[in-house]
Every structure is written in structure tokens, then in C-alpha cells.
């Protein structure tokens, strides 16, 4: 009948339909649009098609979830702080309140009758006791009421002052939002650690992963392979959400790939050094061993039956892995399993893991080198082809090299730094550019597109580089012991740990440092940065008034005269920017090493002899 009625009902005319416009409700003036985000709707709930009724329903849902999460957040921490109720939660099942754990594990303890009671009370609250008229529909009768207003007032008090009422409602809404985020975080934390928030904090279980507590109690940092200098190293977080079973699987794969790469690395080098086998690899195809190159091109030379034999052998080895996935004995495949002493076995297993890791890195580099040059590793070195992007570069005369460079770099519209990429927008790719010396066409982040800020970027690069050059020198001076002594500070200073020494500078010293830096930065802003529009070059402090510079220069705080030719001046600027870039990278790693080891590195060589270098035949440090 409904279908028939829809067929016989006259359709509205296009003119009438086009005259109806449905505008989105403007919710930017509602409660909750406050600092710092103001009206925040990243998903677009209140965009086209949202009406006042739609907004009221979502606001009512937001308030309901916020109120529930405020109570739930208290419930997650209260029992562990103030204790649980006495007596029985379910006398028929002999279940006491004290037996119910804190956190989401409590869900499994509530009996079926308890869940039925909870759902019944929740239904009564939803439909009768505190029903929300703003929902409308079945059980609610009408729209138009204020969302979340049950008519109970603020603790029974009806607030008459509009400003106070808006403040209280905003506070409730924001506390509910915070509680929803907090409850989500608590549930995730509880699931990861197996402990309630209070249990985790009191147990010192700050990290939820692999510290001997919680669901991820397995600690891979104590396993074989976590050795100096990196210790336990997991930059990709492979073990962040894993247990011991997953670690064993990853270790099996690591050993397998390492063993394959050790054999493959040897196979990429030995034939070119010691020669190939004599005779035929495939007599039926007249294919000799000498016809197989020592490059990745060799895979195209192997016939189909050869690949079948390789797969069959790999399958047989994999079948053995099902029984002994990590243990081939020593020597391997001789059947001598578990014959080594425990200490000797640990030493050899560690050596195998580390050699496998080195082989995986080496094999990846060899394959990349092979793909870039078209030559095997030994062929590349013996032919002098040290430039991987221009084949035979070192064998050609200077005139031929200029012709080959036209295929790459600026001659072909390519970046000097990355010869296969075009020149980035905004850069000249001219290493002796008058304004931006050292421009080699390297801008992966696209900073040069903003030409207005490009001078400031160069200014920042030079400023940071100059500071890092001084810092690298300061590290070397500090660690070598060649520093000023007690008359600077009455506190003891530390030569071996520059980062620790920084904490020993008194407050007055830091104030002096900050004042000097602030005055220097103010002078640089007034005389250099603000004068870019007048022709002053970024980083030009005007220290050498006799320099061959045609652009305007700032009045220097101090100066010295050094007569230089234009070519010499340009070379000096190029050297400066190169040293700046090198110093920024170097200083970062110096600080990283200092923080991880407690000792500062130095540009001066350390002539002390390591323990493993002083013992004949003992090539592995002891106690690892």
C-alpha cells in the first residue's frame, strides 16, 4: 500500500523544490566554543545539512558521554586510593567487592545478573528518570528542549544569573571532554600494562612495554644481541607491542637473513677475486660458470631448472628449521649440536648475530652500488669508477669529464647534490651564488619556495653553523682538559662530561651569557636582518671592511683588515658554509654520544688502547 501511495502521490514541481533552501546551523555561538580552539569542528559535523535539531542531539550525546566518563574516571582511581566497599557484591556467587580488580578486568568479574541490573537501571535513567527531551523520537516525545537539561538544576539549585549559568555549563562541558580523553587513555594504558593507573604508578611501571611488568613483561634488552655500542637498539619499535613468542620469531628471521647475506656477500666478491668454477653450469644450455656475472644480473642467467633446484634446497633447509630454527650446530650441518661450553656458545652466537647484521647492511649497499654502476664491487674498484652516477668517470680525461657532467648536474637542469633530481624551485644550483654561496640544489623540504623568507633562512643557517663550530671546538677543549680553572667558578668542573659541566655554571654566569646573546641578537637584527631590503647580505657582520663586496654592509662591532681577491673571498665564503653544515651535523652527534655514554667526544684522537686490542687473539671485548 505504501508503494502504491508513493506511485499515485503527485510529485512536487521543480519550481517548488528549487525554492526550498536548507542552511546549516551556525553553532559557533553555542556553549563550548571557547579558548583556545574556539569553534572546533574538524570532522565537519556542523557543515552543510546540519540543523538545530541535529546539533542539539549531538550536544546531548556529548554531555551524556562526558558525564559518564567523569564518573568512570573517578571509578578507575578511587578504589586503589581510598579502598573498596566491604561485604559482598554477589553473595550467591561468594563474590566480594574486594575481589573485583580495578580497571577493565572488573568487567569479567561482574556476574550476568549484575549486568542485567546495570542495563535495567541505565534504561530507566535514559527513558524515565533523566530522559533528554532534546533527543526527540520514541520515548522522548518532542524536540526543542535544551540538551542535557534534566530540570534538576545545579545540585538542586536553579542558577538565575545568565553569566554564572553559562560559566557552569561551559565548565561541565570542558570537564566532560577532558574526562572522555582521560578515560580513553586509561583504558589503553590498562590494556597495555594489565594494571590500573594507580597500580602502574606505585609499581614504578612507567614504560608499558617490556620492562618485566604488565601484559608485555618480556624484556628483549636482556637477550643476546643487545651489546655495545648501541646496547638494546629497536628504532622501529618492532618489540613495542610484542611478547616473547614474537621476539623469537623476529630473532629467527634476523638469523636467517643474516646467514643468507653472509653467504651472498661472499658470493658477490669471491668470484672476481679468486676466479669462477671451471666447466658448465648448464651443459644443455651451453652455459658456463664463467658466463655468470658477479652482479644482480646473474639472476637472469640462471635457467629454470636451476631455480627449481635452488627452491628445492631452500625448502629442505626450511623443513629442518621447523625442528631447529636457530641451531645448526658448530660447525654447522655437522650434527654436533650443544657440544660447546655455555660461555663459548654465547660468544659464538653473539658473533654470528653481529656478523649477520653487518652482512645485511653490506649486502644492501652492494646491491645498491651494483644497480647504480652496473658493475660488481670488485669491478668498480679495479676500474677506478668511484663515481657511481657516471660510469668510468675516473678513467676519462678532463675534457671528457666536462662532457659527461653535461648529462647530470646543472648542465642538464639537474641538482648538483642529487644528480637525478631537478633543481628545486627558488634555488640557482650555483655553488658560487653571490647571495647564497654553497647552493648545490638541495632543498627537500621546499624552504626556497618562499623567496621572502629565504634570506632569513640563510641567516639562520650561518648563525647556527657558526655557533656549532665554536661548540665543537669547545667540546674538544673541554674534554682535552685545556680549560680555565677555579678562578671562573668556585664549583668543581668536569672535563670528561661537557653536558654535566653545563649544569655547574652558576646562575650569575648564565645571566651573563643570556645578556651577551640578547645584545648580540639585537645588534644583528637592527643592522643585518632588518636591512635585507637595502642590499645587506644574510650573515654579513661587516667584520672585514676591506673585503671585495659591492653590496651595502653594516657597521661592525669590531673589525679587522684582510686583503683578499674576489676568487679568494668567494672560496672563503664557500668554506665557511661547508664547515657550518658539517659542524651542525657533528655537534648533534657529539651531544648524542655525550648523553648516551656520559663522556664527551673530541676532535683529537684518543690514544688509549682498548682491552680487546691489548690481548692477543681476544678480538671481542670481555663481559658482554
Between CA 293 and CA 306 the distance in angstroms is 16
Cross-strand partners of 90:
95
Q: What are the DSSP E strand ranges found in 297-357? A: none
Between CA 373 and CA 53 the distance in angstroms is 68
pLDDT digits (tens, 9 = 90+) for 511-564: 899 999 999 888 888 888 888 888 888 888 888 787 777 888 887 767 677 777
Cell of 189: 594504558
| Predicted pLDDT at 428 | 85
Separate counts of helices (H) and strands (E) for the chain: 16, 4
| Predicted pLDDT at 210 | 53
> Strand, helix or coil at 177?
helix
Between CA 135 and CA 127 the distance in angstroms is 11
Of the candidate CATH numbers 1.10.3460, 1.10.15, 2.60.420, 1.10.287, the domain formed by 244-374 belongs to 1.10.3460
Q: Is 67 annotated as a binding residue?
A: yes
The DSSP code for 386 is -
Quick check: bond before 464 cis, omega within 30? no
Q: Is 40 annotated as a binding residue?
A: yes
CA angle 471/597/354 to nearest 5° reads 120
pLDDT digits (tens, 9 = 90+) for 162-206: 888 888 888 999 999 999 999 999 888 887 777 888 887 777 666
Q: What distances in angstroms separate CA 250 from CA 231, 236, 253, 265, one per listed residue? A: 17, 13, 5, 22
If 0-12 CB within 10 Å is exposed, 13-18 middle and 19+ buried, where does residue 387 land? middle
Q: Are 289 and 276 in contact (CB under 8 A)?
A: yes
Q: Which residue has the higher pLDDT, 270 or 1?
A: 270
Chain CA centroid to CA 449, Å: 26
| Predicted pLDDT at 135 | 61
The DSSP code for 95 is E
pLDDT digits (tens, 9 = 90+) for 412-459: 677 877 777 788 888 888 888 777 888 888 888 788 888 888 888 889
Between CA 256 and CA 353 the distance in angstroms is 10
| Predicted pLDDT at 391 | 46
Between CA 129 and CA 147 the distance in angstroms is 15
Cross-strand partners of 422:
414
Q: Is 128 annotated as a binding residue?
A: no
- What share of the chain in percent tops pLDDT 90? 13
Rg (CA), the chain: 37
Residue linked to cell 648564565: 510
Q: Are 348 and 340 in contact (CB under 8 A)?
A: yes
Ordered by start, the domain boundaries in the chain are 24-193, 244-374
Q: Are 441 and 429 in contact (CB under 8 A)?
A: yes
Helices marked H in 86-237: 112-124, 162-193, 197-202
| Predicted pLDDT at 125 | 79
CA angle 31/36/42 to nearest 5° reads 75
Question: Would you place residue 401 in the very low, low, confident or very high pLDDT band (cuts 50, 70, 90)?
Answer: very low
Question: Would you place residue 242 in the very low, low, confident or very high pLDDT band (cuts 50, 70, 90)?
Answer: low
Cell of 450: 618562499
| Predicted pLDDT at 143 | 52
Q: Are 22 and 49 in contact (CB under 8 A)?
A: yes
Of 34, 56, 20, the closest CA to residue 174 belongs to 34
Dihedral angle computed from the Cα positions of residues 308, 311, 312 and 313, in that order, rounded to the nearest 10 degrees? 130
> Does pLDDT of 480 surpass 50?
yes
Long-range CB contacts (within 8 A, 24+) of 563-568: none
What's the fold here for domain 24-193?
Chlorophyll a-b binding protein (1.10.3460)
Q: Is 369 annotated as a binding residue?
A: no
Residues in contact with 259: Cβ distance below 8 Å, sequence separation at least 6, in sequence order = 352, 356
Q: Which residue has the higher pLDDT, 74 or 49?
A: 74
Quick check: bond before 305 cis, omega within 30? no
Question: Would you place residue 6 in the very low, low, confident or very high pLDDT band (cuts 50, 70, 90)?
Answer: very low
| Predicted pLDDT at 578 | 92
pLDDT digits (tens, 9 = 90+) for 73-109: 998 888 888 888 888 888 888 888 888 888 888 888 8
Question: Would you place residue 502 in the very low, low, confident or very high pLDDT band (cuts 50, 70, 90)?
Answer: confident
Sign of CA dihedral 265, 268, 274, 275: positive
Dihedral angle computed from the Cα positions of residues 93, 97, 102 and 104, in that order, rounded to the nearest 10 degrees? 40
Residue linked to cell 566532560: 176
Q: Are 432 and 455 in contact (CB under 8 A)?
A: no
Q: Is 62 annotated as a binding residue?
A: yes
Residues in contact with 554: Cβ distance below 8 Å, sequence separation at least 6, in sequence order = 527, 528, 531, 536, 540, 541, 542
Of 542, 543, 547, the closest CA to residue 560 belongs to 543
Q: Is 210 annotated as a binding residue?
A: no
Q: What are the DSSP E strand ranges found in 254-407? A: 280-282, 287-288
Residues in contact with 238: Cβ distance below 8 Å, sequence separation at least 6, in sequence order = 250
Between CA 200 and CA 192 the distance in angstroms is 11
Q: Is 126 annotated as a binding residue?
A: yes
Mean pLDDT of the chain: 77
Between CA 484 and CA 283 the distance in angstroms is 78
Amino acid at each position: 500500500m505504501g508503494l502504491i501511495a508513493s506511485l499515485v502521490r503527485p510529485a512536487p514541481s521543480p519550481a517548488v523544490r528549487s525554492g526550498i533552501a536548507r542552511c546549516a546551523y551556525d553553532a559557533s555561538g553555542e556553549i563550548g566554543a571557547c579558548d583556545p580552539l574556539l569553534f572546533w569542528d574538524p570532522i565537519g559535523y556542523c557543515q552543510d545539512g546540519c540543523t538545530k535539531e541535529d546539533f542539539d542531539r549531538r550536544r546531548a550525546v556529548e554531555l551524556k558521554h562526558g558525564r559518564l566518563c567523569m564518573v568512570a574516571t573517578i571509578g578507575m582511581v578511587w578504589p586503589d586510593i581510598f579502598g573498596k566497599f566491604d561485604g559482598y557484591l554477589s553473595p550467591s556467587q561468594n563474590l566480594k567487592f574486594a575481589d573485583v580488580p580495578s580497571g577493565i578486568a572488573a568487567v569479567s568479574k561482574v556476574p550476568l545478573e549484575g549486568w542485567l541490573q546495570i542495563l535495567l537501571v541505565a534504561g530507566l535513567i535514559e527513558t524515565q528518570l533523566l530522559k533528554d527531551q532534546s533527543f526527540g523520537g520514541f520515548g522522548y516525545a518532542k524536540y526543542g528542549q535544551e540538551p542535557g537539561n534534566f530540570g534538576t538544576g545545579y545540585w538542586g539549585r536553579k542558577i538565575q544569573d545568565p553569566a554564572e549559568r553559562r560559566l557552569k555549563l561551559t565548565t561541565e562541558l570542558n570537564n566532560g571532554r577532558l574526562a572522555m580523553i582521560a578515560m580513553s587513555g586509561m583504558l589503553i594504558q590498562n590494556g597495555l600494562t594489565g594494571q590500573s593507573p594507580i597500580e602502574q604508578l606505585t609499581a614504578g611501571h612507567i614504560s608499558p612495554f617490556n620492562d618485566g611488568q604488565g601484559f608485555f613483561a618480556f624484556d628483549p634488552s636482556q637477550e643476546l644481541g643487545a651489546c655495545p655500542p648501541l646496547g638494546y637498539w629497536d628504532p622501529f619499535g618492532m618489540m613495542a607491542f610484542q611478547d616473547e613468542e614474537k621476539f623469537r620469531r623476529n630473532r629467527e628471521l634476523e638469523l636467517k637473513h643474516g646467514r643468507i647475506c653472509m653467504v651472498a656477500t661472499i658470493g658477490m666478491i669471491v668470484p672476481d677475486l679468486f676466479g669462477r668454477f671451471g666447466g658448465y653450469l648448464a651443459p644443455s644450455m651451453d652455459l658456463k660458470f664463467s658466463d655468470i656475472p658477479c652482479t644482480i644480473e646473474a639472476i637472469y642467467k640462471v635457467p629454470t631448472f636451476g631455480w627449481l633446484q635452488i627452491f628445492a634446497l631452500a625448502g629442505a633447509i626450511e623443513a629442518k628449521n621447523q625442528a631447529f630454527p636457530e641451531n645448526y650446530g658448530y660447525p654447522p650441518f655437522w650434527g654436533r649440536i650443544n657440544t660447546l661450553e655455555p660461555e663459548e656458545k654465547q660468544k659464538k652466537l653473539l658473533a654470528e648475530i653481529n656478523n649477520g647484521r653487518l652482512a645485511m647492511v653490506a649486502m644492501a649497499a652492494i646491491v645498491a652500488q651494483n644497480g647504480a654502476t652496473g658493475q660488481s664491487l670488485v669491478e668498480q674498484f679495479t676500474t677506478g669508477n668511484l663515481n657511481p652516477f657516471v660510469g668510468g668517470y675516473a678513467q676519462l680525461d678532463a675534457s671528457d669529464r666536462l662532457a659527461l657532467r653535461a648529462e647530470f648536474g646543472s648542465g642538464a637542469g639537474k641538482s648538483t647534490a642529487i644528480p637525478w633530481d631537478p633543481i628545486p624551485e627558488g634555488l640557482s644550483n650555483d655553488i658560487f651564488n653571490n647571495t647564497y654561496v654553497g647552493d648545490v640544489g638541495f632543498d627537500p623540504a621546499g624552504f626556497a619556495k618562499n623567496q621572502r623568507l629565504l634570506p632569513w633562512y640563510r641567516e639562520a643557517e650561518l648563525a647556527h653553523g657558526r655557533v656549532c663550530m665554536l661548540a665543537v671546538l669547545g667540546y674538544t677543549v673541554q674534554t682535552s682538559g685545556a680549560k680555565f680553572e677555579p678562578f671562573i667558578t668556585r664549583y668543581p668542573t668536569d672535563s670528561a662530561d661537557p653536558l654535566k659541566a653545563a649544569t655547574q655554571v652558576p646562575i650569575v654566569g648564565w645571566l651573563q651569557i643570556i645578556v651577551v646573546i640578547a645584545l648580540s641578537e639585537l645588534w644583528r637584527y637592527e643592522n643585518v636582518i632588518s636591512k635585507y631590503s637595502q642590499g645587506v647580505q644574510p650573515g654579513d657582520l661587516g667584520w672585514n671592511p676591506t673585503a671585495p663586496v659591492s653590496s651595502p654592509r653594516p657597521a661592525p662591532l669590531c673589525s679587522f683588515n684582510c686583503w683578499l681577491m674576489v676568487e679568494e673571498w668567494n672560496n672563503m665564503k664557500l668554506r665557511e658554509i661547508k664547515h657550518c653544515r658539517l659542524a651542525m651535523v657533528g655537534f648533534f652527534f657529539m651531544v648524542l654520544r655525550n648523553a648516551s655514554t656520559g663522556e664527551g667526544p673530541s676532535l683529537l684522537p684518543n690514544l688509549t688502547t682498548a682491552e680487546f686490542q691489548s690481548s692477543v687473539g681476544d678480538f671481542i671485548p670481555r663481559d658482554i
